[in-house]
Structure 1
Amino acid sequence: MMDPTVKGTMNVLKACSATTVKKLVLVSSAASLCFNPDWPEDKIKDESCWSDKEFCRENENWYSLAKTEAEEMSLEYGEKNGLHVATFCPGLVFGPLLQHVALNTSSKVLLYIIRGGPDTMNNNFWPTVDVRDVADALLLLYNKAGPSERYICALDQMDIKDLLRILKGVYPNYNYADKMVDVGCKAAMTSAKLKNLGWRPRKLEDMLADSIESYEKAGLLQVSDGKPCRLPFFYRMPPVQE
């Protein structure tokens, strides 16, 4: 995971320099800022917060480590080489699907919450965002963000239990996940900087409704093959070896 993310990003940065590209918007992740044990618990995370790389190594959180290193490297490269680099960090990305075979990790999390399965979930506190609002943010940053700037891209923030409660209230006929353990990971963060630039995200209810409609059309909510829905590794508790 480290090599494709970090070395792959460096390859893109060097290609930009070689082809005289002037501006680059890098899609990072909320994972690059939410794993910082030294950040005050009563202070909401903003763009000045970075995940602690040593903490990620100790916990073998390679995804977050890779995202953090790639984003830091991109901003440093832009400053040293005159490339206009802006980065942004989306939370869990839900919304309508373009593809129905290889789901992104965020969609697998929401699908598991709705369908249920054998795994025990971490009751994390995660920000969410609609994929269409991510696309809007990309265009906005390309046109308005200054060089070496970083933006958080997230909508509502709640733990998985609250998200589950909202879904059950509107869509009571699904099985839903019923195994959950509270954990200490809190990822409350603010998108005020992006909103000040003009970003206007959809409401949570609209995002969830459009997500479920898309899953239904794709047949993903029908359990017909006898195979249980599995939760992405990072969200399981305790960790299960693949």
Structure 2
Amino acid sequence: MIDPAVNGTLNVLRTCAKVSSVKRVIVTSSTAATLSINPNDVVDETVFTDLSVYLAMKAWYGYSKTLAEETAWRFAKEKGIDLVVMNPGNVIGPVLQPTLNYSVEVIVDLINGKNPSNSFYYRFMDVRDVSLAHIKAFEVPSASGRYILADPDVTMKDIQKLLHELFPDLCRVDKDNENEVGEMAYKVCVDKLKSLGIEFTPIKESLKDTVVSLKERCLLI
């Protein structure tokens, strides 16, 4: 997981560095690279996850995303590349692919009464907003640095409660069940993202569209 993330990113950046017509490169990273384990922190674009945290957890996805982004920033600085990085949380909304990806599988797990591992770190954003943010990063001349793409007001508990409200017949665990997911109290600042003109799709709409899409593709099991 680590080698493809790091070397894949470097391969693209090396090619971009050879082509004078490439004026800006957008890298899709993850909020996994902006994690704080201190519940009193306010997470913004200045926060990089301490790699030792992921090593201790053996959380190789988060480790790979953080290391790949750090590597991209070093290379971009060396080569003078105009780099902008998007750091999305769990991306939900209408599904395009015929199989489950990790982010949407979290929703399926919740419907099936399972608590995804490390779920108290999760933040969410609609795929349509994530797509628009990438476009804005290309088109807005002043776009620069990193952007956290996550609804700052929505936690894992909010997602769970909304799923029960929207689809009570699908959810297999009562909302008052003792296995209710936990949540961390750290805050997320998205002021920089809003400066690109991004308005968040209501989370209730995102969840509804996610589950309807999953049902249409027979991905709810």
TM-score tier by shorter-chain length is 0.7 to 0.9
Give CA-to-partner distance per residue, 1:126-157, whole Å, 9 cap, x none. Answer: 21001111100000011126575111011254
**2:212 match:** 213
Provide the alpha-carbon RMSD of the alignment: 2.3
Which amino acid in structure 1 is aligned with residue 109 of structure 2? Y
In the superposition, the TM-score normalised over structure 1's length comes to 0.81
**2:145 match:** 149
| C-alpha contact 1:128 1:157 (8 A) present in aligned 2 | no
Q: How many residues align?
A: 217
Give CA-to-partner distance per residue, 1:9-32, whole Å, 9 cap, x none. Answer: 111110111233221000000000
* Counterparts in 2 of 1:120 and 1:14: CA distance versus 1, 3 Å: closer
Which amino acid in structure 2 is aligned with residue 30 of structure 1? T
**2:94 match:** 96
The CA distance in 1 between the partners of 2:124 and 2:50, in whole Å, is: 22
Does the residue aligned with 2:42 lie in a helix, a strand or coil? coil
Q: Identify unmatched segments of 5+ residues in structure 2.
A: none
| C-alpha contact 1:151 1:194 (8 A) present in aligned 2 | yes
Q: Identify unmatched segments of 5+ residues in structure 1.
A: 224-242
* Counterparts in 2 of 1:145 and 1:55: CA distance versus 1, 3 Å: farther
**2:72 match:** 74
Structure richer in strand, relative to its length: 1
Identity %: 30
The CA distance in 2 between the partners of 1:199 and 1:185, in whole Å, is: 25
* Counterparts in 2 of 1:147 and 1:159: CA distance versus 1, 3 Å: closer
In the superposition, the TM-score normalised over structure 2's length comes to 0.88
| C-alpha contact 1:88 1:153 (8 A) present in aligned 2 | yes
* Counterparts in 2 of 1:164 and 1:220: CA distance versus 1, 3 Å: same
Alignment of 1:26-175 (within 5 A): 26-34=27-35, 36-37=36-37, 39=38, 41-100=39-98, 102-116=99-113, 122-144=118-140, 146=142, 149-175=145-171
